Chains A and B, each alone.
Chain A
Amino acid sequence: MGNEDVILRFEHVSKMFPGVKALDDVSFDIRRGEVHVLLGENGAGKSTLIKILTGVYTADEGRILLNGREIKPTNILESRKLGIGTVFQENSLVPHLTVAENIFLSREIKNSANLIDWKETNAQAQYWIREMGIDIDPRTQVRRLSVAEQQIVEIAKILSQQPSIIILDEPTSALSDNEIDNLFNTVNKLKEEKGITFIYISHRMEEIKYIGDRATVLRDGKFIGQLPNLEEAKLDDIINMIVGRTLEEKFPKRQVEIGDVMFEVEHLTVPKTIYDVSFQVRSGEVVGLSGLVGSGRTSTAKAIIGMLPKEKGVIKLNGKPAVINTPHDAIKIGIGYLPEDRKREGLLLDKPMYENVTLPALHKFKKFGVLSKALEHQTAEEYREKLSIKTPSVERETKFLSGGNQQKVVFSKWLCAQTKVYIFDEPTRGIDVGSKSEIYRIINDLAAQGAAIIVISSELPEILGVCDRIVVMCEGRVTGELSREEATQEKIMKYAIGGAGSYGKVEATH
Chain B
Amino acid sequence: MEKLKLPIKDRKTTSFTNKPWFSAVLPLIVLFVLMSLIKPDTFLTTSNLMNILRQASTYAIMAVGMTFPIITGGIDLSQGSLLAVVAIVAGMIIRDTESILLAVLAGLVIGAVIGFLNGTVIAYLEMPPFIMTLGTMRALRGVALLLTKGSPIDIKLEAYRFMGTQSFLGIPLPAYMFILVAIAGQFILSKTATGRYIFALGSNVEAAKISGVKIVRNRIKAYMISGVCVAIASLLYISRLGSAQPIAGEGYEMEAVAATVIGGTSIVGGEGSAMGSIIGAVVVALIRNAMVLLQISTYWQSIVIGLVIVVSVSIDIIRKRIEARRVG
Interface residue ranges, A against B (CB under 8 Å): 17-22, 24, 43, 48, 57, 220-221, 305, 307, 326-328, 330-332, 337, 339, 344-351, 355, 359-360, 362-363, 366, 369-371, 390, 392-393, 395-396, 400, 413, 417
B6 contacts chain A at the CB level, 8 A cutoff: yes
Partner of B200, one of A20, A22, A348, A371: A348
Partner of B1, one of A221, A351, A362, A370: A221
Interface size, B (range) = 20 to 34
A-B contact pairs, 5 of them (CB 8 A): A330-B212, A339-B210, A344-B204, A348-B199, A393-B6
Chain B residues numbered 186-209 whose CB sits less than 8 Å from any CB in chain A: 190-193, 196-197, 199-200, 203-204, 206-209
- CB-based contact B209/A400 at 8 Å: no
- CB-based contact A337/B6 at 8 Å: no
Q: For the complex, give the distance between the alpha carbons of A486 and B190 in Å.
A: 54
Partner of A348, one of B3, B191, B207: B207
> Interface majority SS on A: helix, strand, loop or mixed?
mixed
For B204, what are the chain A residues with a Cβ–Cβ distance below 8 Å? 344-345, 347-349
Chain B residues numbered 304-328 whose CB sits less than 8 Å from any CB in chain A: 326-328
- CB-based contact B207/A371 at 8 Å: no
Nearest to B209 among chain A residues (CB) is: A327
For A24, what are the chain B residues with a Cβ–Cβ distance below 8 Å? 2
Measured CB to CB, the closest approach of chain B to A244, in angstroms, equals 12
B297 contacts chain A at the CB level, 8 A cutoff: no
Which of B1, B192, B206, B271: most chain A Cβ within 10 A?
B1
Q: For the complex, give the distance between the alpha carbons of A363 and B271 in Å.
A: 22
For A417, what are the chain B residues with a Cβ–Cβ distance below 8 Å? 212
Nearest to B320 among chain A residues (CB) is: A350
B97 contacts chain A at the CB level, 8 A cutoff: no
Nearest to A302 among chain B residues (CB) is: B210
Nearest to A390 among chain B residues (CB) is: B1
A19 and B4 contact, Cβ closer than 8 Å, known pairs A362-B193, A369-B192, A395-B13: yes
- CB-based contact B328/A348 at 8 Å: no
- CB-based contact B10/A305 at 8 Å: no
- CB-based contact A370/B191 at 8 Å: yes
- CB-based contact A396/B200 at 8 Å: no
A351 and B2 contact, Cβ closer than 8 Å, known pairs A346-B210, A359-B208, A362-B196: no
A348 and B203 contact, Cβ closer than 8 Å, known pairs A18-B327, A221-B1, A371-B191: yes
8 nearest interchain CB pairs? A393-B10, A331-B212, A17-B328, A348-B203, A395-B10, A328-B212, A359-B211, A360-B211
- CB-based contact A21/B1 at 8 Å: yes
The A-B contact count (CB < 8 A) is 120
For B149, what are the chain A residues with a Cβ–Cβ distance below 8 Å? none
Measured CB to CB, the closest approach of chain A to B199, in angstroms, equals 7
Nearest to B215 among chain A residues (CB) is: A326
A19 and B3 contact, Cβ closer than 8 Å, known pairs A351-B203, A359-B200, A363-B193: yes
Q: For the complex, give the distance between the alpha carbons of A395 and B214 in Å.
A: 24
For B192, what are the chain A residues with a Cβ–Cβ distance below 8 Å? 369-371
For A359, what are the chain B residues with a Cβ–Cβ distance below 8 Å? 196, 200, 208, 211-213
Nearest to A400 among chain B residues (CB) is: B327
For A413, what are the chain B residues with a Cβ–Cβ distance below 8 Å? 211
- CB-based contact A328/B213 at 8 Å: yes
- CB-based contact B214/A328 at 8 Å: yes
Measured CB to CB, the closest approach of chain A to B9, in angstroms, equals 7
Measured CB to CB, the closest approach of chain A to B2, in angstroms, equals 5
Nearest to A361 among chain B residues (CB) is: B212
Interface string of B133-161 (1 = CB under 8 A from A): 00000000000000000000000000000
For B8, what are the chain A residues with a Cβ–Cβ distance below 8 Å? 393
Measured CB to CB, the closest approach of chain B to A74, in angstroms, equals 13
Q: For the complex, give the distance between the alpha carbons of A220 and B197 in Å.
A: 37
Which of A18, A43, A339: most chain B Cβ within 10 A?
A18
- CB-based contact B2/A21 at 8 Å: yes
For A330, what are the chain B residues with a Cβ–Cβ distance below 8 Å? 212
For B199, what are the chain A residues with a Cβ–Cβ distance below 8 Å? 348, 351, 355
- CB-based contact A392/B6 at 8 Å: yes
Measured CB to CB, the closest approach of chain A to B200, in angstroms, equals 6
For A363, what are the chain B residues with a Cβ–Cβ distance below 8 Å? 193
- CB-based contact A393/B2 at 8 Å: no
For B193, what are the chain A residues with a Cβ–Cβ distance below 8 Å? 362-363, 366, 371
Partner of B328, one of A57, A220, A351: A57
A20 and B10 contact, Cβ closer than 8 Å, known pairs A344-B207, A351-B200, A359-B208: no
For A390, what are the chain B residues with a Cβ–Cβ distance below 8 Å? 1
Nearest to B328 among chain A residues (CB) is: A17
Nearest to A396 among chain B residues (CB) is: B10
Nearest to B187 among chain A residues (CB) is: A370
B164 contacts chain A at the CB level, 8 A cutoff: no
- CB-based contact B196/A355 at 8 Å: yes
A20 and B2 contact, Cβ closer than 8 Å, known pairs A345-B206, A350-B203, A371-B192: yes
Interface string of B8-31 (1 = CB under 8 A from A): 111011000000000000000000
- CB-based contact B1/A345 at 8 Å: no
- CB-based contact A345/B9 at 8 Å: no
- CB-based contact B211/A19 at 8 Å: no
Measured CB to CB, the closest approach of chain B to A301, in angstroms, equals 10
